[in-house]
């Protein structure tokens, strides 16, 4: 049993040395729990800490690992920067380094697209797939907002941009703004995000995933969206194949894991039961 969370910069807790090509991670929950662990992949401009509200309750029943994706957080200096494809390869390498053969994957936005790519590449490793406002489900994307977010360098620039990521009735926590501003103060962060955002965009649109192939996966797939998503329109969740369970929440924006963490946790726990 682990007590609380362990933060590691590419290092397995309790072991000497660094596994090859392992992303930095925050690990929590019982290391000897029965069942595949939960792996959490954040969205563009985020990091592992954004999943704290999910990791705490999930860790009561299952080992959980939240990675910092290339060019983000503790992986700012990862050898290769890029969007969902780069993140997917880095996560697969990390799962290999940690000897994790099968996992429950949860991904938000860009991390959702990365999780989907991992599932398509190695379906036998996926116990379940939970995608929170994922990228790649349609061509439309708020490219202007993402570029402004990538270029924001201080709190004055960040706060009005961050507000656009949440539902209209959600009170943006000051801590979220403070943490984002603190992260942007690090040398090289805005440069990295400015580079990465262009790999996500095709001018003013985004590349799409083969949704039909996702629907054909044997593992259960859930998609979670908010009706007030100002980054990726909710209609991308409409009329998905019937084998994909779609959960659309009213008055929720692009950050369901922060806006409605209890509901999202419940949906993930349903996936654990299936797995």
Q: Which domains does the chain have, with CATH numbers?
A: 5-141+207-274 (3.40.50.1820)
Give the residue carrying structure tokens 């996992």.
Answer: 103
Please give the model's pTM, rounded to 2 decimal places. Answer: 0.93
Element (H, E) at 213: helix 211-215
Q: What pLDDT is attached to residue 6?
A: 55
- Separation CA 137–CA 209 (nearest Å): 6
Q: Identify the band that residue 10 occupies on the pLDDT scale cut at 50, 70 and 90.
A: very low
33 pLDDT higher than 60: yes
Q: Strand 25-28 vs strand 64-67: parallel, antiparallel, or unpaired?
A: antiparallel
Collapsing DSSP states into helix, strand and coil, what is residue 86? helix
The pLDDT of 45-65, averaged and rounded, is 96
Give the CA radius of gyration of the chain.
Answer: 17
pLDDT in tens, 223-257: 999 999 999 999 999 999 999 999 999 999 999 99
The pLDDT of 49-60, averaged and rounded, is 96
The pLDDT of 77-99, averaged and rounded, is 96
pLDDT in tens, 98-157: 999 999 999 999 999 999 999 999 999 999 999 999 999 999 999 999 999 999 999 999
Q: What pLDDT is attached to residue 4?
A: 41
Q: Are 31 and 63 in contact (CB under 8 A)?
A: yes
Q: Are 7 and 65 in contact (CB under 8 A)?
A: no
Q: What are phi and psi of 159, to 5 degrees?
A: -60, -50
200 pLDDT higher than 50: yes
Q: Are 80 and 21 in contact (CB under 8 A)?
A: no
């Amino acid at each position: 049993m682990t007590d609380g969370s362990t933060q590691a910069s590419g290092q397995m807790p309790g072991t000497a040395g660094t596994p090859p090509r392992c992303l930095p991670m925050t690990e929590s929950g019982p290391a000897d729990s029965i069942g595949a662990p939960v792996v959490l992949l954040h969205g563009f401009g985020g990091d592992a800490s954004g999943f704290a509200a999910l990791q705490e309750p999930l860790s009561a029943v299952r080992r959980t690992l939240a990675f910092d994706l290339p060019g983000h957080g503790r992986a700012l200096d990862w050898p290769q920067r890029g969007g969902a494809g780069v993140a997917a390869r880095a996560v697969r390498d990390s799962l290999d380094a940690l000897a994790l053969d099968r996992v429950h994957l949860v991904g938000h936005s860009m991390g959702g697209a990365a999780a989907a790519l991992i599932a398509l590449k190695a379906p036998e490793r996926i116990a379940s797939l939970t995608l929170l406002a994922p990228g790649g489900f349609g061509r439309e994307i708020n490219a202007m907002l993402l570029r402004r977010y990538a270029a924001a360098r201080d709190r004055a620039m960040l706060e009005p941009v961050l507000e656009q990521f949440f539902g209209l009735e959600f009170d943006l926590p000051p801590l979220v703004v403070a943490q984002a501003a603190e992260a942007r103060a690090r040398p090289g962060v805005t440069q990295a995000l400015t580079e990465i955002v262009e790999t996500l965009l095709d001018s003013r649109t985004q590349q799409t995933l083969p949704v039909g192939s996702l629907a054909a996966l044997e593992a259960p797939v859930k998609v979670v969206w908010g009706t007030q998503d100002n980054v990726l329109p909710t209609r991308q969740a409409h009329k998905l194949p019937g084998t994909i369970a779609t959960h659309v929440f009213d008055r929720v924006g692009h950050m369901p894991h922060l806006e409605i963490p209890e509901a999202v946790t419940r949906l993930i726990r349903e996936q654990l039961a299936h797995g």
